[in-house]
Amino acid sequence: MSTPTFSIHDEVRIKELLLANGHKPFRYAQIENAIYKNFITDFSKIETLPKEIREILVRNCHYQSLRVHSSSTSADGQTTKFLFKTHDDKMIEAVIMRHLSGRNTLCVSSQAGCPMACVFCATGKLGLIRNLDFSEIVEQVMYAADTLDKEGRKLRNVVYMGMGEPFLNYENLKRSIESVTAQKKLDISVRRVTVSTCGIIPGIDRFADEFPQVSLAVSLHAPNDVARSRIMPVETTYPIDQLMASLDRYVEKTNKRIFYEYIMISGITDRIEYARELAVLLKDRMAHVNFIPYNPGEGIMGDGMLPTSRLIIAKFQHELEKAGVPSTVRHTMGDDIDAACGQLALKENGESLATEQGRSMGKIS
């Protein structure tokens, strides 16, 4: 039986491998250049390396463990959604958004499934299947960077807003951000990476210390405990007052504005008194609110929930404006290909992937 190979993105192990075979450390820089700058996928074709090292790489490493199960592009060509299968047949997804301004953004997954069980989210219905390894996150970025490169475009932004809760997979999140932003690797500016959390306080505190330049988005979705706990189970573990205290610490340490995501679900999160409460909560905080109209995903959620009308969203924006809190309405892209969080995977996997194991692992303490 052959020994399992490890990822070419695993810098530590590759350096160990070079050393163990008596090769000089500068060889790593040549490998890095071939993989990340020239998008060479076949190690035997890295011509800057001696044949012996190429063979060592071929024997011991793999370029990609994810396989593209399917991909679909929206009718307007702006959004492409990839559904990947991991080596152990779990489904994860990533979405490229080609903005008209020329900026290209990739939304990546940090977990297969998600334990957080937010009621409006398709991924939440799966439960946690497993954490992704950092290399599986980097592979999503590599694949998108390569796809865009072939179109003559460049990947500029990476957002951790796909499947999963990034702060519950912190070590792999960390290693993936390091690879994505390293100048000698994918070289995405740290300021153009955004991590979105449902509000895991220990993760926020650690992130403020370790990645003060990376942007933080927080899925707030409701302005008080009662309303939030109806849609987000995380509220019982990390209630709003404690969450806001950790976000205040974040701002103090980083001096960065936080993006607050607020989902607009008709009759549930869009009561006008919530607009006023939200304004009070975020006034004098370094906040920017992104209103996200609920995406029902062709009704696959089967919950009958509907997005809020533009008129009511405008009223929310007006309340915030009066309090001096800037906001935008997130332009929904890729509706026709189910590009909202977790929707395609749910369709492909059905409920069957939400295994008992996934459910029990998914319980947050």
Query: Catalytic residues, which ones?
Result: 93, 341
Distance CA 29, CA 237 (A): 45
Distance CA 122, CA 343 (A): 5
Q: How far is the CB of 139 from ligand SAH (least distance, A)?
A: 19
Distance CA 161, CA 61 (A): 29
Which listed residue (93, 261, 319, 338) binds ligand SAH by CB under 6 A?
261
Minimum CB distance to ligand SAH smaller for 35 or for 289? 289
Minimum CB distance to ligand SAH smaller for 43 or for 291? 291
Minimum CB distance to ligand SAH smaller for 251 or for 300? 300
* Residues 278 to 297 in contact with ligand SAH, rule: CB under 6 A: 292, 294-295
Q: How far is the CB of 85 from ligand SAH (least distance, A)?
A: 20
Minimum CB distance to ligand SAH smaller for 35 or for 354? 354
201-210 vs 170-181: helix crossing angle, rounded to 10: 30
Q: Which stretch binds ligand SAH (CB under 6 A): 17-25, 33-41, 183-191, 194-202?
A: 194-202
In contact, 137 and 84? CB cutoff 8 Å: no
Minimum CB distance to ligand SAH smaller for 324 or for 326? 326
Q: How far is the CB of 39 from ligand SAH (least distance, A)?
A: 28
Q: Nearest to residue 364, comparing CAs of 118, 3, 151, 188?
A: 118
Give residues with Cβ within 8 angstroms of 183, minimum separation 6: none
Letters for 211-250 (x = contact with ligand SAH by CB under 6 A, - = none) are --------x-------------------------------
What is the chain's percent helix, strand, coil content, to nearest 5?
Answer: 45, 20, 40
* Residues 29 to 88 in contact with ligand SAH, rule: CB under 6 A: none
Letters for 337-356 (x = contact with ligand SAH by CB under 6 A, - = none) are ---xx---------------
Q: Nearest to residue 172, comparing CAs of 128, 203, 200?
A: 203
Burial class (CB in 10 A: 0-12, 13-18, 19+), 12: exposed
Q: Facing residues of 62 across strands?
A: 7
Angle in degrees, CA 102, 123, 207, rounded to 5: 65
Q: How far is the CB of 54 from ligand SAH (least distance, A)?
A: 39
Using CA atoms, how far residue 340 sits from 88, 97, 294, 355, in Å, is 24, 12, 9, 22
Minimum CB distance to ligand SAH smaller for 120 or for 274? 120
* Residues 97 to 136 in contact with ligand SAH, rule: CB under 6 A: 118, 120-121
Q: How far is the CB of 300 from ligand SAH (least distance, A)?
A: 10
Which listed residue (65, 79, 157, 197) binds ligand SAH by CB under 6 A?
197
* Binding stretches for ligand SAH (CB under 6 A): 118, 120-121, 161, 165, 196-198, 219, 261, 263, 292, 294-295, 340-341
